Amino acid sequence: MIASNQTKTVTSNYRGTDKLILGIVLAVITFWLFAQTTLNIAPAMSADLKISHSVNNLAVSITALFSGIFIVVAGGLADRIGRVKITYIGLLLSIIGSLLIVISPSGTALFLLAGRILQGLSAACIMPATLALMKTYYDGKARQRALSFWSIGSWGGSGFCSLFGGLVASTIGWRWIFVISILVAIISYLLIRGTPESKSTTTGKKAFDWAGLIAFIIAMLAINIVIGQGSGLGWLSPAIIICGVIFIISIIVFLRIESKSENGFVDLSLFKNQTFSGATLSNFLLNGAAGTLLVALALVQTEAGLSSLQSGLITVGYLVAILSTIRVGEKLLQKMGPRKPMLLGCYITGMGILLTSFTFLLTKEYIIVAFVGFTLFGVGLGFYATPSTDAALSNVPANMAGSASGIYKMASSLGAAFGVAISAAIFYGLSTLKGVSPMADIFMGRTDNIAVRYAAGLGLLFNVFMVVVAIISIWITVPKESSKQQKNNSE
């Protein structure tokens, strides 16, 4: 939401403690570590609950979708009614959502979908509210340290989720992942409890843009149904065609509302800044590459017979690489500006994903190549993350930083939602088609699963395509000059 003309933060003289940092990190990983485990345990969930692949894929992607839709709204609410209060609400939603997933009965996806939606709303509340608390109650080096722990919670959680999910699912069952998530949320609440409230007092408040929000929600849900359910219902079925029309109409209405509104749900004027636009678009696309995890891990589980734990071990390099290179990306930013490390990160990411698409190899060879690919994937994202954030936020006016941050984080969640949904649609949609692959001669080993391996390869190549588009967007929009030079020029 657009910031009003004058704002001031209402806080006490309280200064943040390590206890608060730990509580916030635990709150953050309720999404990045626990909710994101579905990228690896999707086959186990589908088999246990006896639901179709299309419904299961919807359950995987819908959490990030709802997080992306509501993160800007939740950030604005946190400023108005209190960041601590919104964090508590996020933790409560996480507990209820996880509980619904734990008790999901076999044969129906109702509880599962409801729980995943609540997990998405929980993430939308927790991420902007906890970031604001970090910025409010920590200064100087203490703030940098606190934000580093926040980043470790999010990036580390996303890197560890596949391995953690596989470990739990292979030993005590996938439902226990969400039981542990409930316990973590409760501990987080106990650690944060007692933190003074923090909010902004705003002058010149304007009515919230409910019309824009509603149009945006309708558009996002409609296109997600088209992507996720198209292969199951039929791409030319009345339901899919109607949803496609609803999406087009809703997007047109949304853009008209936002272009005329003085207090729009999304500040479209920010996209007049080419650097912000390029960084946000590339962020959307790089997060969309999360579909790589779903397709590659589902393939080795269903066709190579690996357990969720064994498939999770393939991503260990991803976890180590992303955690060890985030600070490297920060140093590259300081020396080169954002453009070069963003491009370098995309090149390495694209190469890593390309290696995971070599599904024509024998199982043992593919596991080795995929391990290397996921490691490169992590290195690339580590190089890209900090420079991209800097490019997006350092090139907008200070009074629009809140709106810019919300849109940038919204792009992260929506990118993950649509990337996973499209990759899964390609993989599961094509794997059921009869007939021989047009490239059947290059596939080694078994011939009875060529269609599935071919479909997985195409699904993974789609993720490479997204990285290529991200590279093009950075080349076109992000200037060659350093971040410091950009700031001096803008002044």
Token pair recorded at residue 155 = 């990036």
Token pair recorded at residue 208 = 């919230």
pLDDT of 491: 43
pLDDT band at residue 426 under the 50/70/90 scheme: very high
**One-character DSSP codes across 308-320:** HHHHHHTTHHHHH
Token pair recorded at residue 89 = 């609400």
Q: Which residues contact 457 (CB under 8 A, 6 or more apart)?
A: 357, 358, 359, 360
How far is residue 163's CA from residue 308's CA, in Å, rounded to a whole number?
8
Domains 15-197 and 266-483 share a fold: yes
pLDDT of 124: 94
Interval 224-250 mean pLDDT: 90
Which of 225, 228, 219 has its CA nearest to residue 239?
225
Instruction: Pick one of 3.40.50.80, 3.20.20.70, 1.20.1250.20, 1.10.287.3510 as the CATH number of 15-197.
Output: 1.20.1250.20
Which of 283, 344, 324, 29 has its CA nearest to residue 161?
29
Q: Kindly report the CA angle at 34 between 79 and 28, in degrees rounded to 5?
A: 25
Dihedral over alpha carbons 114, 118, 120, 126 (to 10 degrees)? -170
Burial class (CB in 10 A: 0-12, 13-18, 19+), 439: exposed
- Structural contact between residues 126 and 30, judged by C-beta atoms closer than 8 angstroms: yes
Q: Which residues contact 245 (CB under 8 A, 6 or more apart)?
A: none
**One-character DSSP codes across 279-306:** HHHHHHHHHHTTHHHHHHHHHHHHTS--
pLDDT of 488: 46
What is the pTM for the complete model shown?
A: 0.85
Phi-psi region of 435 (alpha: psi -120 to 50; beta: other; left: phi over 0): left
pLDDT of 3: 40
- Which residue has better confidence, 142 or 247? 247
How far is residue 93's CA from residue 312's CA, in Å, rounded to a whole number?
27
Tell me whether strands 6-10 and 199-203 are parallel, antiparallel or unpaired: antiparallel
φ, ψ (nearest 5 deg) of residue 6: -135, 130
Mean pLDDT taken over the chain: 88
- Structural contact between residues 195 and 18, judged by C-beta atoms closer than 8 angstroms: no
- Which residue has better confidence, 446 or 114? 114
Enumerate the domain spans of the chain.
Answer: 15-197, 266-483
How far is residue 159's CA from residue 222's CA, in Å, rounded to a whole number?
30
Token pair recorded at residue 26 = 């635990």
pLDDT of 249: 97
Which of 462, 411, 429, 421 has its CA nearest to residue 60?
421
pLDDT band at residue 139 under the 50/70/90 scheme: confident
Interval 208-222 mean pLDDT: 90
Task: Give the tens place of pLDDT for each residue, 437-469.
Answer: 666 777 887 777 888 999 999 999 999 999 999
List the single range of 23-27, 283-287, 291-295, 426-430 with lowest mean pLDDT.
426-430
| CATH code, residues 266-483 | 1.20.1250.20
- Which residue has better confidence, 363 or 141? 363
Q: Report the percentage of the chain scoring pLDDT > 70.
A: 91
pLDDT of 72: 87
φ, ψ (nearest 5 deg) of residue 445: 80, -140
Q: How far is CA 191 from CA 23, 25, 88, 194, 469, in A?
A: 5, 10, 11, 8, 42
